[in-house]
Amino acid sequence: MRFCSLVIVVAVDFLTPTSARASKGNGLAVKTAGGIIYGTVDSSTPAVRQFLGIPYAKPPVGELRFAPPQQPRAFQELNATALPPSCMQYLGGLPNIIINDVLEFNLGGSNSSDPLRVSEDCLTLSIWAPHSHKPNLPVLVFFYGGAFLAGGVDVPYQLPAQWIQRTQSHIVVSFNHRDNIFGFPNAAGLPLEEQNVGLLDQRMALEWVRDNIVSFGGDPERIGAWGQSSGSVAMAYYSYTYRDDPIVNSLIMDSGNEFIDILTKDPAHANFTFLASQFSCSNLDPAAELSCMRRVDAFAIEDFMRVYSDNGQVPIITFSPIVDNRTVFANYTTLAEAGKIAHLPVLIGSNAQDGEMFVSYYPDGVDTALADPITKAWFYCPTYRSAKVRTDGNTGPVYRYLYAGNFSNISPRPWMGAYHGAEVPLVFGTHPLYRGNSTQLEYETSYAMQDAWLAFVATAGEKPSIKGWDAWDEVDGGRVVEFGNGVPARLIDTAEMDRGCDSLPW
């Protein structure tokens, strides 16, 4: 049986067996503008309230498929006690490390495409908050990665309960948004400004958080946006799109930014039309083609794309953000130099072996002659460039980091090191939950990163948690924090590595 829509209930008796019964005094019944939301507490993290699967937009189904998100319907009561389905996606086409070795980056920790974990009715967010009922807590809103193809709230390594159980001093929000063809259709029948609806989903989620988070104990003036990989790319785009009203007070950008090019370049809309031709929607004018594709079963679309991709068929079809001059622009350097970017503090960095995720590997290692240039050209140098344009434009203090940990329960093959995404379980605090407990250094590195992320949002970049970690200045170099390389955190000088980036063609 496939997930369809969130279940709305009218009594708290339907709470799941593992949840505490909501009452007036325990904080599990929260009144919002949309209605009363009932949360839960898991026995493994008893000091954390969880509110799972709250709709922030209408289900994007029927005529709303491929359309910008719409405000959600009000409800009387909502049972938010179980992880919701993620948006439509399939596992094929993702890097081998995720599919073969570290399944905790996949939905539900699975190595297969599970139709029970996805639904087209997926525009929900989830909130984790301390049970202590402290008011005005800083809020981190997480933008997940997945190359604009996959991802969601239901990812084991990206569940924040362990982190909040430890600190009791902040709130984390994670949300689903549309990806692939459902988020970035690039259809001839849509106006240009409505092609990147997955990015518009992200804005609506942040608006919901701004308007409702105080009811959960959050401070709407201290909401920080934190993204990883394509989630960080999307955040970078966001800082240009909503420069005059960013909602957030800070940006944390992990291995992703506006200078990583994963855009779809298809001005003729050939990809959408090709896919439409596989479902008896061919030889139609743009409006009729769009209408026809809105009636095709969502799972049939995903199944076709999965098989087509896995078989390596041509032409290659891609659905990711396009330049629309609304949510994505063509020249970010020019915009930054003109001051057309949100003036926000930024914490930005990448991983020492980011590139290893994106090359073929063997049991004993990867070809570093292929992986190292990817690390430099796809991640390290774009990170340097994003930091540079923001520093040059005086958009706010920029703090840089490099993650360099190599821990066996996250990197089960010794050569993996600090691969793309390896920092995520340390920040979420999920690192000791799979493949054995963590080392003392791993715990200490996790705490250092958690405290740095939280302090950055809590103080809008004014008080870094690590002594001597000043805002980066490209002239002086240095003042970059390296996490996990023999010690939890240390200051390093990256001036020599940075100089190598200036020679790349931008």
Q: Please identify every residue annotated as catalytic.
A: 229
Specify the 3-state DSSP secondary structure of 30. strand
**Dist CA 457 CA 481 (whole Å):** 17
Cα(225)–Cα(101) distance, rounded to whole angstroms?
29
Query: CA–CA distance from 452 to each of 21, 448, 491, 494 (Å)?
Result: 35, 6, 13, 19
Strand, coil or helix: what is 65?
A: coil
CA pair distance 460, 251, nearest whole angstrom: 9
Angle at CA 148, nearest 5°, toward 225 and 409? 75
| End-to-end alpha carbon distance in the chain | 49
**What are the counts of helices (DSSP H) followed by strands (DSSP E) for the chain?**
14, 15
Q: Is 275 helix (H, G, I), strand (E, B) or coil?
A: helix
Give 118's contacts (C-beta < 8 A, 6+ positions apart). 3, 85, 86, 87, 88, 89, 107, 152, 302
What CA–CA distance (Å, rounded) separates 127 from 174?
7
Counting Cα atoms < 13 Å in the Cβ hemisphere of 220 gives 11
- Write the DSSP assignment of 174-232 as a string of letters: EE----HHHH----TTS-GGGS-HHHHHHHHHHHHHHHHGGGGTEEEEEEEEEEETHHH
Measured between alpha carbons, how far is 287 from 298 in angstroms, rounded to an integer? 19
CA angle 101–141–90, rounded 5-degree value: 40
Q: What is the dihedral of CA 281, 85, 111, 46, to 10 degrees?
A: 170
Is the Cβ–Cβ distance between 257 and 229 less than 8 Å? no
- Give the CA angle between residues 301, 303, 308 to the nearest 5°: 95
Separation between Cα atoms, residue 170 and residue 81, nearest integer Å: 20
Where on the phi/psi map is residue 488: left (φ > 0), alpha (ψ -120 to 50), or beta? alpha
Q: CA 107, CA 122: separation in Å to the nearest integer?
A: 13
Q: Which two tokens stand for residue 203?
A: 């804005």
12 three-class SS = helix
Q: How many CB atoms lie within 10 A of CB 321?
A: 22
